[in-house]
């Protein structure tokens, strides 16, 4: 966990200033190296809240039903309603998460998002191992351009930052090409997912990209291009970083963080 904690007071002040600067437009989280870490959540105000006590029960039935299906594929979507209010949900687990890890993650995600956004018709929560997206609006297959955030490793790279940034971009783009070329394998867990590494002399760069499986390969590419364009802003010269949305995400670090 050394990446998350900075001990020298001078450095901390610098780090806090950086975080404060980023907060108005993107939420940043310092800790990047835990297994199935909670990352972020959004209670979508625009969709409103449901009145009455039956709503949470209806959402639970949709999620419970989804959770009893085969999660080995790593993606499942479901639908239901509570009176006139529609309920749509999607779950995407990271491709290297086993079915049992995926199931545990979804259970945690659901109980947390219920607590954090009670009665919200729209709510999204991200963990390392899974994403849970609940909405009253049908958006399956669409790229969600509204909900985006980033995280970065507080450590700066030493040496040539420009070269490091260039290599990071190149690796992420190569992984994107690999992820979207799996068109013929739509029922595999690693569909629209790819992870890899690249030697940087004495160190190694590790990265992954993933889209939710409701996207087409074309839209996965569009989504990843969009978030990768945020690289200079989110993680310039940082030893690790990620940009996440409900449709796609990427991450890179100087240490391995996915199971191969
Ligand atoms: C992060 O986790 C990986 C794998 O668990 C470990 O090898 C690595 O040393 C950790 N890195 C930091 C900076 O804590
Ligand atoms: C691709 O994404 C766009 C934007 O979200 C959406 O309107 C469109 O329906 C998607 N295309 C397909 C083929 O699913």
| Tens-level pLDDT at each residue, the chain (260 residues) | 333 332 233 333 333 333 333 433 333 333 445 579 999 999 999 999 998 789 999 999 999 999 888 888 899 999 999 999 999 999 999 999 999 999 999 999 999 999 999 999 999 999 999 999 999 999 999 999 999 999 999 999 998 999 999 999 999 999 999 999 977 666 788 899 999 999 998 899 999 999 999 999 999 999 999 999 999 999 999 999 999 999 999 999 999 999 87
Ligand 2 neighbourhood includes 135 CB (under 6 angstroms): no
Q: Which two structure tokens, joined as six digits, stand for 229?
A: 């364009």
Length, in residues, of the chain: 260
Q: Is 79 helix (H, G, I), strand (E, B) or coil?
A: strand
Mutate to test the pocket of ligand 2, among 133, 135, 140, 143 (most ligand atoms within 8 A of CB): 143
Beta strands, E only, the chain: 38-43, 75-82, 85-93, 123-127, 130-135, 149-152, 193-200, 203-211, 241-244, 248-253
Query: Ligand 1 mean position to 17 CA, how many Å?
Result: 25
Structural contact between residues 175 and 209, judged by C-beta atoms closer than 8 angstroms: yes
Q: Which CATH superfamily is domain 41-135 in?
A: Gnk2 domain, C-X8-C-X2-C motif (3.30.430.20)
| Euclidean distance between CA atoms 256 and 260, whole angstroms | 9
**Ligand in nearest proximity to the CA of 155:** 1
Q: Under CATH, to which class is 7-30+148-253 assigned?
A: alpha beta
| Euclidean distance between CA atoms 198 and 204, whole angstroms | 6
Residues of the chain with CATH 3.30.430.20: 7-30+148-253, 41-135
CA-CA distances (angstroms) from residue 127 to 10, 91, 112, 130, 167?
A: 31, 11, 11, 5, 27
Query: Ligand 1 mean position to 58 CA, how many Å?
Result: 40
Ligand 2 neighbourhood includes 144 CB (under 6 angstroms): no
């Amino acid at each position: 966990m050394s990446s998350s904690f900075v001990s020298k007071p001078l450095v901390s002040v610098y780090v806090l200033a950086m975080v404060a600067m980023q907060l108005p437009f993107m939420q940043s989280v310092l800790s990047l190296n835990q297994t199935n870490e909670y990352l972020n959540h959004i209670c979508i105000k625009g969709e409103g809240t449901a009145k009455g006590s039956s709503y949470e029960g209806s959402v639970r039935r949709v999620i419970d039903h989804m959770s009893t299906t085969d999660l080995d594929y790593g993606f499942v979507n479901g639908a239901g309603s509570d009176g006139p209010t529609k309920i749509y949900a999607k779950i995407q687990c990271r491709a290297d998460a086993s079915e049992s890890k995926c199931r545990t993650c979804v259970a945690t995600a659901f109980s947390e998002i219920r607590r954090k956004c009670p009665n919200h018709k729209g709510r999204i929560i991200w963990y390392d191992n899974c994403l849970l997206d609940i909405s009253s609006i049908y958006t399956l297959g669409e790229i969600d351009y509204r909900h985006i955030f980033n995280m970065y490793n507080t450590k700066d790279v030493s040496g040539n930052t420009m070269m490091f940034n260039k290599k990071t971009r190149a690796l992420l783009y190569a992984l994107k090409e690999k992820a979207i070329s799996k068109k013929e394998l739509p029922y595999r867990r690693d569909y629209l997912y790819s992870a890899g590494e690249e030697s940087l002399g004495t160190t190694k760069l590790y990265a992954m990209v993933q889209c939710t499986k409701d996207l087409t390969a074309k839209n996965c590419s569009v989504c990843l291009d969009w978030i990768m364009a945020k690289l200079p802003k989110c993680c310039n010269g940082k030893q690790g970083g990620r940009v996440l949305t409900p449709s796609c995400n990427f991450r890179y670090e100087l240490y391995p963080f996915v199971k191969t």
